[in-house]
């Protein structure tokens, strides 16, 4: 995996977990995950969405396994994906009856790369420990890792009630919010300890503790990070739609990642009706890339525009180039190794345009309002050409494509050597 970590904070040391060939934790680059929203029993729809998520850059994909029909479909989904040349690890998301589904459908248990267990609803009262143990034993039998995923919407009520009662007897009791945070952390750690007692190795366990409040998430993971060395999956649950979900998730996870906490992330966005599910993958990649932790696609820098840029040409050009780069990345990753490090600049006027363009690998400074209708192009910091006329945008797009071929193609590599 392409990746690096440039935070001023030391990366938290965690135990690496192999999830179907993708390493989570142990110093590996932060992994991008996603989840389908199809009915898993609908094989065609699920295969199509997993394929789309994978092409967008998701390195692990979680699917719902909620009933017999879904469990029976999993091996066929795996087979169909492999025929398409897609080997992305599939994670089974289990609630309530995971122990039964895994026992009744051994082919499903084998086809999945990881099982997700929610200790808050794996079972209740005297059945809880027994059913939790059954899933862990199934993971041991099939040599699969598990994610113990605590969620405050389905938090273990027995544990929470006990901690609330104990808190009331203290001289200086904590707030209900603080006790809830502690219950979330304890649920994850106690469940991991139980899994290890049953016989599951630590390098087979990933922990998560999801809440919907930004400050709650930061506090919970900061505590979890100091009290365990398990690999951690970051995610803000119920983040919401559109910009709200993106901002909330980025704020919470950005702070944690900057502190070296987090081995894999999923940004959970509520999509628009019939919206594009791959948006959450793109946002996850952009978060990691803008923070300098990994590189996924070439960066297109563009000015925000002002009164000097009343034309929309530079905006349209920047948008078109970014879309074209992202669309081609599934092929370019193989054809042009290293292309994800490319930096392109599309600037709207002469104020900062030439300077910003020089900082990019290839950049263009378009004419602003009232400026001479010419556009200087800079390649590797030097002025390379001046474009004129109505075909400026098309000419620059071709120059970008030619630059990629020249620098990252086999001919370019041979010349450099």
Q: Which of 410, 414, 385 is nearest to 398 (CA)?
A: 385
> Is residue 207 located within the same domain as residue 278?
yes
172 and 315 part of one domain: no
* CA atoms of 388 and 100, how far apart (whole Å): 68
**pLDDT below 70 — which residues of the chain?**
1-9, 308-311, 368-371, 411-417
Could you say which of 290, 318, 343 is where a domain stops? 290
| 240 domain residue, yes or no | yes
108 and 141 assigned to the same domain: yes
**What pLDDT does 266 receive?**
97
**DSSP classification of residue 270:** B
Considering the domain architecture, whether residues 280 and 320 belong to the same structural domain is answered as: no
Q: What's the pLDDT score for residue 98?
A: 97
CB 146 within 8 A of CB 203: no
Strands 343-347 and 299-302: parallel
pLDDT of residue 184: 96
Distance CA 261, CA 9 (A): 9
The answer to whether residue 7 sits within a structural domain is: no
- The residue with tokens 């894999």 is 264
The CATH code of the domain that includes 245 is: 3.20.20.20
DSSP lists the bridge partners of residue 63 as 92
Taking the CA atoms of residue 285, residue 291, residue 295 and residue 297 in that order, the dihedral angle to the nearest 10 degrees is 60
CB 265 within 8 A of CB 287: yes
- Asked if 40 and 77 touch (Cβ cutoff 8 Å), the reply is yes
DSSP element (H, E) containing 345: strand 343-347
Q: Give the CATH number for residue 403.
A: 3.30.413.10
In a domain? residue 251: yes
Distance in angstroms (rounded) separating the CA atoms of residues 371 and 309: 10
Distance between CA atoms of residues 314 and 316, nearest Å: 5
pLDDT at residue 371, as a whole number: 65
Asked whether residue 205 is assigned to any structural domain, the reply reads: yes
Identify whether residues 52 and 126 lie together within a single domain.
Answer: yes
**For residue 312, is it within any domain?**
yes
Q: Does one domain contain both 214 and 357?
A: no
Same structural domain, 256 and 356: no
Residues 282 and 401 in one domain: no
Radius of gyration of the chain (CA): 24
Closest CA to 202 of 234, 229, 224: 229
Please write the tens of the pLDDT for every residue from 318-343.
898 899 998 899 889 889 999 999 99
Q: In which domain, by residue range, is 194 found?
A: 17-290
| pTM for this model (two decimals) | 0.90
Strand-pairing partners, residue 17, are 24
Same domain, 380 and 404: yes
Contact 91, 108 (CB under 8 A): no
Closest CA to 120 of 71, 160, 91: 160
In a domain, 12, yes or no: no
pLDDT at residue 316 in the model:
86
Note whether residue 75 is domain-resident. yes
pLDDT at 128: 86
Q: Which of 272, 290, 308 is the last residue of a domain?
A: 290
Count of domains for the chain: 2
Q: Are 260 and 303 within one domain?
A: no
Q: What is the pLDDT of residue 133?
A: 96
Closest to 366 (Cα-Cα) out of 341, 342, 395, 343 = 395
Based on the fold, state whether residues 286 and 308 are members of the same structural domain.
Answer: no
Q: Is residue 3 part of a domain?
A: no
Q: Report the candidate in 237, 181, 229, 236 with the shortest Cα–Cα distance to residue 205.
A: 229
Q: Supply the pLDDT for residue 84.
A: 98
């Amino acid at each position: 995996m392409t990746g690096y970590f440039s935070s001023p904070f030391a990366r938290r040391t965690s135990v690496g977990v192999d999830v179907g060939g993708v390493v989570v934790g142990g110093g590996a680059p932060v992994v991008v995950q996603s989840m389908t929203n199809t009915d898993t029993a609908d094989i065609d729809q699920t295969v199509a969405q997993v394929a789309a998520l994978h092409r967008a850059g998701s390195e692990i994909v979680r699917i719902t396994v909620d009933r017999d029909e879904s469990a029976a479909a999993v091996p066929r989904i795996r087979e169909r994906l492999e025929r398409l040349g897609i080997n992305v690890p599939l994670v089974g998301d289990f609630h309530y009856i995971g122990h039964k589904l895994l026992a009744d459908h051994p082919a499903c248990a084998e086809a999945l790369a990881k099982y997700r267990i929610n200790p808050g609803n794996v079972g209740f009262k005297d059945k809880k420990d027994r059913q939790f143990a059954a899933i862990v034993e199934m993971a041991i039998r099939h040599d699969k890792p598990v994610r113990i995923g605590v969620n405050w919407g389905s938090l273990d009520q027995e544990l929470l009630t006990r901690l609330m009662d104990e808190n009331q007897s203290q001289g200086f009791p904590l707030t209900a919010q603080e006790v809830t945070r502690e219950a979330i952390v304890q649920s994850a750690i106690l469940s991991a300890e139980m899994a290890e007692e049953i016989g599951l190795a630590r390098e087979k366990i990933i922990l998560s503790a999801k809440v919907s409040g930004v400050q709650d998430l930061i506090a919970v993971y900061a505590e979890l990070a100091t009290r365990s060395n398990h690999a951690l999956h970051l995610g803000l649950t119920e983040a919401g739609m559109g910009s709200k979900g993106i901002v909330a998730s980025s704020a919470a996870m950005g702070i944690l990642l900057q502190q070296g906490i987090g081995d894999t992330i999923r940004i959970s966005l509520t999509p628009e009706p019939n919206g594009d599910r791959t948006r959450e993958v793109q946002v996850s990649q952009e978060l990691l890339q803008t923070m300098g932790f990994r590189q996924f696609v070439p960066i297109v820098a563009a000015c925000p525009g002002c009164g000097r840029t009343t034309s929309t040409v530079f905006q349209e050009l920047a948008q078109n180039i970014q879309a074209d780069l992202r669309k081609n990345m599934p092929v370019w990753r193989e054809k042009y190794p290293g292309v994800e490090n490319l930096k392109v600049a599309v600037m709207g006027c002469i104020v900062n345009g030439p300077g910003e363009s020089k900082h990019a690998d290839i950049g263009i400074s378009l004419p602003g309002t009232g400026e001479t209708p010419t556009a200087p192009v800079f390649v590797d910091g030097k002025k390379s050409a001046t474009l004129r006329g109505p075909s400026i945008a098309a000419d620059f797009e071709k120059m970008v494509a030619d630059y990629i071929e020249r620098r990252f193609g086999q001919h370019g590599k041979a010349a450099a050597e």
